[in-house]
Chains A and B, each alone.
Chain A
Amino acid sequence: MNAPAKQLDADTREISYSEAIREAMGLALERDERVVLMGEDIGVYGGAFQVTGDLVERFGTDRVMDTPISELGGAGVAVGAALTGLRPIFEFQFSDFAALAMEQIVNQAAKMRYMLGGEASVPVVFRMPAGSGTGAAAQHSQSFEAWFGHVPGLKVVQPSTPEDAKGLLLAALEDPDPVVMFEHKLLYKMKGHVPEGWYTTPIGKAAIRRDGKDVTIVASAIMVHRALAAAEKLAEEGIEAEVIDLRSVRPIDRDTIIGSVRKTGKLLCVYEGVRTLGVGAEISAMIAESEAFDYLDAPIQRLGGAEAPIPYNPDLEKAAVPQTPDIEVAARRLARREV
Chain B
Amino acid sequence: MTDDNRPFAIRNYDPARLRDALRKMYLIRFFEEGAEDSYMRGLIHGTMHLSIGQEASAVASCMGLTDEDKITSTHRGHGHCIAKGAEVRRMFAEFFGKEEGYCHGRGGSMHIADVTRGNLGANGIVGGGLPIAVGAGLTAKRLNTGAVAICFFGDGANNEGAFHEALNMAAIWKLPVVFICENNKYGMSTSTERSTAVKNIAERAVAYAMPGHTVDGNDFSAVAETVEAAIARARAGEGPSLIENLTYRWRGHSKSDRNRYRTKQEIDEWMARDPIQRFRAELIEHGVLDESEAEKVIAEARQEVEAGIEFAKSGTAPRISDLAKYVYAEENA
Binding site for B on A (CB under 8 A): 33-34, 36, 62, 67-68, 70, 72-86, 88, 103-104, 107-108, 112-121, 152-153, 155, 175-177
Contacts and interface: CB of A to CB of B under 8 A. Distances in A.
A113 B328 contact: yes
B244 to A, nearest CB: 20
Nearest to B151: A80
Interface string B130-156: 111111111110110000010000000
B329 A121 contact: yes
B128 A77 contact: no
Nearest to B161: A72
Given A34-B142, A80-B133, A115-B103, 13 more contacts: A68-B168, A72-B161, A73-B161, A77-B132, A77-B135, A103-B125, A103-B162, A117-B102, A117-B106, A152-B324, A152-B327, A153-B327, A175-B329
Nearest to A86: B139
A72 B136 contact: no
Interface in B105-136: 105-107, 111, 113, 115-116, 120-121, 123-125, 128, 130-136
Interface in B287-333: 324-329, 332
B104 interface: yes
Contacts of A72: 131, 161-162, 165
Nearest to A88: B135
A80 B128 contact: no
A112 to B, nearest CB: 8
A62 B142 contact: yes
A83 B135 contact: yes
Interface residues of B, number: 48
Contacts of B104: 117-118
B172 A68 contact: yes
Given A113-B327, A117-B105, A153-B328, A84 B169 contact: no
A117 B326 contact: yes
Given A115-B106, A117-B104, A119-B102, A86 B169 contact: no
B169 A77 contact: yes
B218 to A, nearest CB: 30
A116 B107 contact: yes
B121 A114 contact: no
16 contacts: A70-B165, A70-B169, A72-B131, A72-B165, A73-B166, A77-B131, A79-B131, A84-B120, A86-B135, A86-B138, A86-B139, A107-B125, A108-B128, A116-B106, A153-B328, A175-B329
Interface of B: 70, 72, 101-107, 111, 113, 115-116, 120-121, 123-125, 128, 130-140, 142-143, 149, 161-162, 164-166, 168-169, 172, 324-329, 332
Given A83-B132, A83-B136, A115 B111 contact: yes
Given A73-B168, A103-B128, A78 B135 contact: yes
A34 B163 CA distance: 26
A118 B332 contact: yes
A78 B164 CA distance: 16
A73 B134 contact: yes
Given A36-B142, A68-B172, A103-B162, A76 B326 contact: no
Contact of B70 (A68, A73, A84, A116): A84
Contacts of A68: 165, 168-169, 172
Contacts of B133: 80
A82 B133 CA distance: 11
A76 B132 contact: yes
B143 A86 contact: yes
Nearest to B145: A85
Contacts of B111: 115-116
Nearest to B166: A73
Contacts of B143: 33-34, 85-86
Nearest to B140: A84
Nearest to B124: A107
B135 A79 contact: yes
Contact of A80 (B103, B105, B134, B325): B134
B138 A80 contact: yes
Contact of A119 (B115, B130, B162, B165): B115
A81 B136 CA distance: 5
A176 B329 contact: yes
A132 to B, nearest CB: 28
A155 B111 CA distance: 22
Which of B113, B132, B142 counts the most A-chain CB atoms under 10 A from its CB?
Answer: B132
A88 B138 CA distance: 11
Which of B140, B327, B328, B329 counts the most A-chain CB atoms under 10 A from its CB?
Answer: B328
Given A74-B165, A116-B115, A117-B105, A82 B135 contact: yes
A149 B102 CA distance: 29
Contacts of A33: 143
A67 B328 contact: no
Contact of A83 (B106, B120, B164, B172): B120
Contacts of A75: 131
A61 to B, nearest CB: 10
A152 B323 CA distance: 12
A225 B165 CA distance: 40
Which of A78, A82, A118 counts the most B-chain CB atoms under 10 A from its CB?
Answer: A118
A275 B318 CA distance: 39
A79 B139 CA distance: 11
Contacts of A103: 125, 128, 162
B113 A73 contact: no
B240 to A, nearest CB: 13
